[in-house]
Amino acid sequence: MDFSSLIGIAVALAGIIGGQLLEGGYVGSLLQSAAFLIVFGGTAGAVMVQSPAKVFLRGVRMAKWVVLPPVFAPRNVIADILRWSLSARKEGRLSLEQQAEMSVDPFARKGLQLLVDGAEPEKLREAMEVEIISFEEYHRQAARIWEAAGGYSPTIGILGAVLGLIHVMENLSDPARLGGGIAVAFVATIYGVGLANLVFLPVANKLKTLIARQVLAREILVDGLVSIASGENPRMIENRLLGYVTDQVPRTGGL
């Protein structure tokens, strides 16, 4: 679990609410259900118009990555490649067929199967890079709904402010009802800007970072498989792959 995201949101809210209290305000004045409905509902609707339903739902589900990110373990990927390289060097490519069947990662399984089938290094790279491009675009489409929400939210907040002011103008003859309209007007703007900059855009950027990490793991895998197909020395393969992860050092002795 990635607690940094939760801590970041908590710190942001603490700063905003703490500032409100220090100025002598009340937390309750920031809680306006009408303003929230206008901003959140309007933003969600705008994003749904922009995106196909499947992409929208996929983006909503991907939000859990912010707290529960997918596994990113480049050391394990490099260790697997080193093991496959040693096996191919000693027993030939066909020895990797069992490894392909045991792999739980469809991407790795496909690469190993191409290796077993005797694919040339460049052909193997081409086939696997198509998979990487498709994977990246598939997930980036979903992540973009949060980026779009961050763009629409402030504008919807201004729309909420205008609606609140219209309500105020309609009730100028009734001073008792003016406060509610003014509150909705200002709080809607806060919700629009706040949701965009504290939730939507940070989530979008976090998702893009996590997708980039998954792409990097696949690039490491492809580079390793192509090196095995080229018959390179396992030690040389490991040394080059460790270049993808700057804090790693070779762990093997002479091979």
* Residue carrying the six token digits 């855009």: 201
254 inside domain? no
Residue 61 has pLDDT above 90, yes or no: yes
Do 13 and 127 have their domain in common? no
Residue 248 has pLDDT above 60, yes or no: no
* Residue carrying the six token digits 């809607």: 188
Do 83 and 109 have their domain in common? yes
DSSP secondary structure string for all residues of the chain:
--HHHHHHHHHHHHHHHHHHHHTT--GGGG--HHHHIIIIIHHHHHHHHHS-HHHHHHHHHHGGGGTSPPP--HHHHHHHHHHHHHHHHHH-GGGGHHHHHH-S-HHHHHHHHHHHTT--HHHHHHHHHHHHHHHHHHHHHHHHHHHHHHHHHHHHHHHHHHHHHHHHHHTTT-GGGHHHHHHHHHHHHHHHHHHIIIIIHHHHHHHHHHHHHHHHHHHHHHHHHHHHHTT--HHHHHHHHGGGSTT--------
63 inside domain? yes
Residue 253 has pLDDT above 50, yes or no: no
CB hemisphere CA count around 93 (13 angstroms): 19
Nearest to 203, CA basis, from 67, 50, 73: 67
Do 19 and 65 have their domain in common? no
Q: How far apart are CA 23 and CA 19, in angstroms?
A: 6
Do 40 and 25 have their domain in common? no
Do 127 and 149 have their domain in common? yes
Residue 183 has pLDDT above 90, yes or no: no
**What is the span of the domain harbouring residue 7?**
1-31
Average pLDDT over residues 148-158: 94
251 inside domain? no
65 inside domain? yes
Average pLDDT over residues 148-166: 90
Do 20 and 39 have their domain in common? no
Do 184 and 204 have their domain in common? yes
Do 78 and 10 have their domain in common? no
Do 64 and 16 have their domain in common? no
Q: Which pLDDT band holds residue 59 (cuts at 50, 70, 90)?
A: very high
Do 25 and 86 have their domain in common? no
Per residue in 5-40, pLDDT (tens digit) is 888 888 988 888 888 788 777 777 778 888 899 999
Residue 177 has pLDDT above 70, yes or no: no
CB hemisphere CA count around 101 (13 angstroms): 5
143 inside domain? yes
252 inside domain? no
Amino acid of residue 116? V
Residue 186 has pLDDT above 90, yes or no: no
Average pLDDT over residues 52-71: 93
52 inside domain? yes
Q: How far apart are CA 196 and CA 207, in angstroms?
A: 15
Domain count, the chain: 2
* Residue carrying the six token digits 């997708």: 211
Q: What is the pLDDT of residue 123?
A: 92
The answer to whether 146 and 203 have CB atoms below 8 angstroms apart is yes
255 inside domain? no
Q: What is the pLDDT of residue 246?
A: 67
Q: What is the pLDDT of residue 252?
A: 45
Where does residue 167 rank: exposed (0-12), middle (13-18), buried (19+ CB within 10 A)? middle
Do 58 and 98 have their domain in common? yes
* Residue carrying the six token digits 């589900």: 61
The answer to whether 187 and 204 have CB atoms below 8 angstroms apart is no
Distances (CA, A) of 185 to 44, 103, 166: 20, 56, 9
Q: How far apart are CA 142 and CA 200, in angstroms?
A: 13
Per residue in 200-224, pLDDT (tens digit) is 999 999 999 999 999 999 999 999 9
Nearest to 221, CA basis, from 97, 102, 89, 127: 127
Do 108 and 139 have their domain in common? yes
pTM of the full predicted structure?
0.84
